[in-house]
Amino acid sequence: MGKALIIGCGGVASVVIHKCCQNSEVFEEICIASRTKEKCDNLKKKLDGGKTKISTAKLDANKVEDIIALIQNFQPDIVINVALPYQDLTIMDACLATKTDYMDTANYEPEDTAKFEYSWQWAYRDRFEKAGITALLGCGFDPGVTGVFSAYAMKHHFDEIHYIDILDCNGGDHGYPFATNFNPEINIREVSAKGSYWEDGKWVETEPMEIKRSYYFDGVGEKEMYLLHHEELESLGMNIKGIKRIRFFMTFGQSYLTHLKCLENVGMTSIEPIEFEGKQIVPLQFLKAVLPDPASLGSRTKGKTNIGCIFQGIKDGKEKTYYLYNICDHEECYKEVGSQAVSYTTGVPAMIAAMLVMSGKWKRPGVYNVEEFDPDPFMEALNRWGLPWKENFHPILVP
């Protein structure tokens, strides 16, 4: 069908690239472009020989002109941004300049402020619409599949959804006392921030990790989970009509939390630059350099993830509850694509989204979140491409 330019070559990108190569009818040609070209070349070496033609390029995605030049040279149908949230706007600018469709898995975050929200990217709506191109925002698992699940529940199971609880459980064990499952800098910025949830049309803020619940997860067992702010709360709060409350919970083990607290207490999670031996360094970036690379966790991680949404609302005048979720096995992912389940559950939806935009099913000029499109082809593709979903009509509710 066409060509995709994939920007970034880390944990998530590696899964996207493997999945594009499995889906060579759609992805006839891909170019892998990232800051460290060696990583792109290594993946190309591993995957060359299949039907998808692979090329690589060195790219600094902070430089709009460089991205434009690469797009003009490669002429992709879509740019899949799986670099870091800091690069979202430069890549969107380059897509506008070249009239190329765009998608990503995380919303823009300025490097010097730990604050993420959609406003910066939603501000591109008119320009994308006028240019006749699509930007699809936040299409990993959460955000991403959680939005697809919400649209599916709305379309097939409810007249009104009043409550959504998004539960993200990682029951995996990598054997290290402390490591993060995706980019450590982004992960620690997310979990050390204040929590919040959306209720009756406004944000309710909590202290970091203030709200804790226990939940029994299918395939994993009983886990402690904590309320976090998360980006899809913002778009679902707007796009799901009649919604009264949306919360997001993520599980954390005690060892992770104890280490994080200690690192916070000594200042290692700060993003304020400090002077060290005559050089400016950001403590969190230094911490990232000494922590295990998330890409290296795959071979050691055992156990499963379980991510999904519990919906409560009304159907045909009666109260109804509905739980949609996916269980993913770390070791199975590693066998298939050489990555652990956190990268896998993000990379597979990114490939599916790119496929739907390229095929025209999810193509609409403007800037959109996933729940604004028809969920059915996406739900079908999840079953086909490695993330089958389960449903429960009588789930245990979160107090």
Residues that bind ligand NDP (CB under 6 A): 8-13, 34-36, 39, 59-62, 82-85, 87, 105-106, 140-144, 182-183, 186, 294-295, 346
Which is closer to ligand NDP, CB of 37 or CB of 162?
37
Q: Which residues contact 262 (CB under 8 A, 6 or more apart)?
A: none
Name the residue nearer to ligand NDP (CB basis): 91 or 260.
91
CB-count burial class (<10 Å; 0-12, 13-18, 19+) for 154? buried
Pairing of strands 212-217, 221-227: antiparallel
Smallest distance, Å, CB 379 to ligand NDP?
A: 17
Which residue, 160 or 293, is less far from ligand NDP as judged by CB? 293
Distance of CA 132 to the CA centre of its chain: 25
Q: Which is nearer to ligand NDP, 140 or 375 (CB)?
A: 140
Residue 1 Cβ, how far from ligand NDP at the closest point, in Å? 24
Q: Which residue is nearest to ligand NDP (CB)?
A: 10
Least distance CB 89 / ligand NDP (angstroms): 12
| Residue number with CB closer to ligand NDP (12 or 179) | 12
CB-wise, 15 or 227, nearer to ligand NDP?
15
Q: Using CA atoms, how far apart are residues 123 and 115, in angstroms rounded to an integer?
A: 16
Q: Name the minimum Å distance from CB 399 to ligand NDP.
A: 26
Rounded to a whole number of angstroms, the minimum distance from the CB of residue 150 to ligand NDP is 14
Sequence-ordered list of residues with C-beta below 8 angstroms from that of 361, at least 6 positions apart, any chain: 373, 374, 377
Closest Cα partner for 229 from 354, 388, 115? 115
Smallest distance from ligand NDP to CB 210, Å = 23
**Residue 318, beta-bridge partner list:** 315
What's the min distance (Å) between Cβ of 159 and ligand NDP? 29
Task: Select 61 or 131, whichever has its Cβ closest to ligand NDP.
Answer: 61
Identity of the residue, 131 or 324, whose beta carbon is nearer to ligand NDP in the bound complex: 324
| Closest to 201 in 3D by CA, of 231, 246, 158 | 246
Burial of 372 (0-12, 13-18, 19+ CB in 10 A): middle
For residue 175 the two structure tokens come to: 């054997």
Structure tokens at 86: 């800091």
For the CB of residue 84, give the shortest distance to ligand NDP in the complex, in Å. 5
Closest approach of ligand NDP to the CB of residue 282, in Å: 14
**In the block, residue with structure tokens 């800098």:** 185
- The least CB distance from residue 361 to ligand NDP, in Å, is 20
CB nearer ligand NDP, residue 34 or residue 235: 34
Q: Which is nearer to ligand NDP, 38 or 48 (CB)?
A: 38
